[in-house]
Amino acid sequence: MYEVGEYIVHPGQGVCKVDEVVDKPQESYMLLPVGRRNPMRISFPVSGENRLRPVLSHDEAVRIINEYPTMEVENHRERSNALEEQYYKDEMRNGDCRDSVRIVKTLRTRIRDLRAHNKKPPVAYERVLKTASERSFLELSVALGKTPEDVAKLLQQTTSKE
């Protein structure tokens, strides 16, 4: 069971802080999403806590940032942009921070390649890239005790060393 004050990852909302544990009407976590402008408390049943996961440790976060330059991009393609967007959303919802970081790298690469050929990237790519960036940078920032902007700079620095 998670304790009040712990940071966890909610499958849909991303990083949340356990604000309180209530007993009635059913035992539930009261979660406060982190990094939102107007966060609303979320009630999440303790019985479903297997869908929650703890935030990365500091060492895991450092490992992911160091692996970023050599991280493989995904080759997954779908028949349509909508199906591809859904695939990545499902992967973020069911995966971990490393999956979100890999999605960021994949979509940055695809967008850069399309623009290099004077093609406009699909709006779905931009949308998924934004969501994956927010989720992964926020989780990494909580684990490292930095801001999401600092994490973005760290990832950029690791790629410029290539």
Contacts of 99 (CB under 8 A, 6+ apart): 91, 92
Does the residue 1 lie in any domain? no
**Burial class of residue 98, CB neighbours in 10 A (0-12, 13-18, 19+):** middle
Residue 148 · residue 65 · CB < 8 Å = no
Question: Are 43 and 90 found together in one domain?
Answer: no
- pTM confidence score: 0.88
Distance CA 34, CA 127 (A): 20
Question: Are 39 and 89 found together in one domain?
Answer: no
Question: Are 44 and 105 found together in one domain?
Answer: no
The predicted structure's pLDDT at residue 100: 94
Give percent of the chain with pLDDT exceeding 70.
98
**What's the structural domain count of the chain?**
2
C-alpha 128: how far from chain center: 11
Mean of pLDDT values over 38-55: 90
Q: Say whether pLDDT at 76 is over 90.
A: no
